[in-house]
Chain A
Amino acid sequence: MTFLAELAINGALVGLMYALVASGIVLVYKSSGVVNLAQGGFVMAGAYLVWAYIARLGLGLIPGILAAAASMGALGWLTERLALRRMIGQPVIMILMLTFGLEVVLRGAVPGALGADTKPMPIPISQAPVWLGDILINRTYILGGAVAVVMVALLAVFFRTRAGIAMRAVSDDHLAAWAVGIPVERTVALSWAVSGAVAAVTGVLWGAVQGVDWSLSLLLIKALSVAVLGGLDSLSGVVLAGLIVGVFESVISGYVDPFVGGGTREVVAAVVIFLTVLIRPYGLFGREVIERV
């Protein structure tokens, strides 16, 4: 029982951190209907930048994170300005290929420029575990889960502000948004910028968990399965989906891995995508298509 609880709690915390990666995808999807397949690369680049600003340039912890968030915000904004805006009206598959191309470029270029070996994320978290009764909890996960909850809550608040409501309006109907004076292009660019900044913060957390190297970009798969299960455009959906994926993969791999020699974690995420697409293509909380006559 203790073992199960331990797996479930740690899994839930990891799941919240998946939800944070996925929230970057949700943010862009909500404003422009584009699934950003470069989100994994964004997280990796964000982690590298935090490491570089702190370990190479000697910035403090907070200034380093802020600088990385600003840089990643700029990268997100530039991605929209330079690449996606030209793609307006192109088939969805072209746009998906473009973002995936960016993912591949980031995977190659960032480790190439800053070093491919795994680096420790230079933030002071004690490795000593936390005991909850008999249950052992990873301290980094606690921090990560807490930060994820705060970030997602902030995003939820943002979507209730005027700028956030305008962003949701843009995702509903571009032409109608233009017609009432919403600067659609700027709004979409803003969503990319915010998503880049969120990726930087996410990169800090995941960098602290598994070190900084190219493999951070593999979070794309987890984030996609969480986003798809959550419904792609719902923040609460993403949190719930994150918890589900996190708990399932932790519990299942905890019990099954010893028999099969590991690797079930990755399978769980893939199975989640399959099952969601087959059973509930709009995800748990995806917005239904409203049809009237």
Chain B
Amino acid sequence: MYTSLSNRRSFIKKMATLSAMTAAATMFPGILFAEEQEKNIPDNGDIDWKKGPCRFCGVGCGILVGVQDGKAVAVKGDPKSSVNKGLLCVKGYHQIMCTQAADRLEYALVKKNGTYVKTPINEALDIVANKMKSTIEKHGKDSVAMYTSGQSTIPEGYVASKFMKGAIGTNNLDCNARLCMASAVAGFLTTFGADEPMGCYEDIEHADYFITWGNNMAEMHPVLFSRMLEQKHSRGAKIIDFATRTSRSSMGSTKSILFEPQTDLAVANAICYEIINNGWMNKKFVEEHINFSKGLTKMGYGLEDNYKFKDKPSKISFEDYKTFLNDYTPKKVAKYSKVSVKDIKFLASIYGDPNIKVMSLWCMGVNQHTRGTWMNNLIYNMHLLTGKISQPGNSPFSLTGQPSACGTAREVGTFTHKLPKGVVMNEKHRKLAAKIWKVPYERIPSKPTYHATEMFRAVDRGDIKFIWTQVTNPLVSLPKTSRYRPGMEKDSCFVVVSDVFPTPTSDVADVILPASWHIEKSGLYGNSERRTQHWDQMVEGPGDTTPDAWMTIEVAKRMGYGDLFPYSKENHVEEIYNEYRQFHEGAKHGMAPLDVLKEKSGVIWPYVNGKSTQWRFNAQYDPACDNGKDFHFYGKPDGKAIIWQRPFEPAPEKPDNEYPFWLNTGRVVEHWHTGSMTRRIPVLHKAMPNAYVEFHPDDAKALGVSNGQNVKVISRRGECTLPASINERGLPTKGQVFVPFFDENMLINDVTIDAFCPISKEPDYKKCAVRIEKA
């Protein structure tokens, strides 16, 4: 399309205005520009607005993409979406701009004699299928692996699972949601026996207190944070930020409480101690709906290859639990958590007061934790002891990072141990999958194989000889990339990378497949509040770009599994979704029919009798409750949730004389994860062009480091050089440094540790020991 200069200027002006509005919305609760916002969107009659979810984060804002002459020309918030009510954050408004990047992967590239050769897509898919087949013939089916994403669409995840587990018969499928949500899943399953939050975003409008656990929502979940700020402003709701670093969220909160890394475990137990010892426990709720259990302790940290752990839960009594908590009096915990007795008691009083509705919110600070499953359990403990759960405003709310970590990774199940319904270890679940997939059930192996970290260790060891990654950039996002990059470069493994843009991961590929971007294909995502959202293809992708699901199907067909993938190119998304829905039939997880999803801006599951279930496990709202009581935790056989006895245990690596600082890593509002998309959006890239290392001013002074000066962050695993940042975006506590991981030119994950939670196998990106040297 020819775009005149004046058109382009006015478009850019509109974009500049939108960025300013969004920045303002993050800073000021409920700020209104409504009419002007509409005025600033091109309103030519020939623009067709198409609905879908935002490409980026797990908040799952509804967007409207303006399409004119076959090109996407603008994005605005979908006013019909209850998630964002027309608002978007700075990433959301600018998302389509990445498609204009000059280095877009438009054609397949096949490495021949060390150089990439442009290859027709069909030929490239032949090469992939032949290589996968011959590898299986030579080394067995467990020598091939797929690594997908919480950004894959539901159909993409579904066909990957069917292909690997149902067709080939290997559980060598895992995904990057292992790096962000696995502890949340393990927390839900151990406590409730059912994954995903019981509440929904509407809880925000009902809660009196929001307690955020290690969570910088102002940058990571900006639209939800603006909803919370609005409640603070209009109703006097309070936001308590409990974290290890002062962030933009702390600045927007009513109160900020800082704790020593890893001691969140102890503080949560101290809150439970206070709840019980002050008589704030909801006895009736606990008697009717709760069991108490403990598991193994001193589990290790998974630092060694082939590390295995299986928990051994055993029931305990309430009295046992109460005695255990005696080690966690506020006085004892204050000594090592650096949280004052007063603040611990203050937090406990919020959970303990029956007249206060409280929402706990958390994401990576709790999940990316070597005791991440325990930390999830401990947050539920506070809500279960007080009965503050599954009611509007009383809500432990595990937030998701990626746009479909819930919909795809968790619900479809693209983890090694998962099936679309249930787990591979369960014969009934294997039988159901085999029936719907039309494969012999013996073909689906009953043992999980590699979780993400172990998968890349297996590549490094030479055990995996073929790996195909889709919609993910592990050589920037894995911990300890200093080991896994050379591992992926080895000749022993054939690497296939499907992506939209070149990345450090595609740099090591033998075949690069050009993937369609978000709006260039149809799809479905599932967000943090169990909301499934559908979108139709809005524009054509360039060159040979192809949807990931279709590439998987084409390879499966070439390998002789065509009868299992009888979908049509035009309609595969619909056909796959309809097949997938069969897995979740029933009141506990029913998914909405596609025609409903096409019509609405998302629908929450369980979708029963034409209605979303907003609060699960509460008989008032959830038709699946059938025990005759007010609450029914039906994920567990006896209908009771579990309060887990989980102790404080130290991090695997702590600052010492040689490496005296904690290193914490994370994100910034401008960039999506590894930056492969947002760094190609000029306005976002300009706003945050490179990573940095944040210091506490006292530490910077002691080290003689000034703002902007290059320093090396060095750990036992690797090093990374970055400019120092003092008193800018965030403020780490003394003795801690913080680095965002979006910048592929400053790979902080060369420095991080690949220790993980033994139960969830999710790595801890928030704590390892480093030293600082001037570069």
A, B: real partners: no
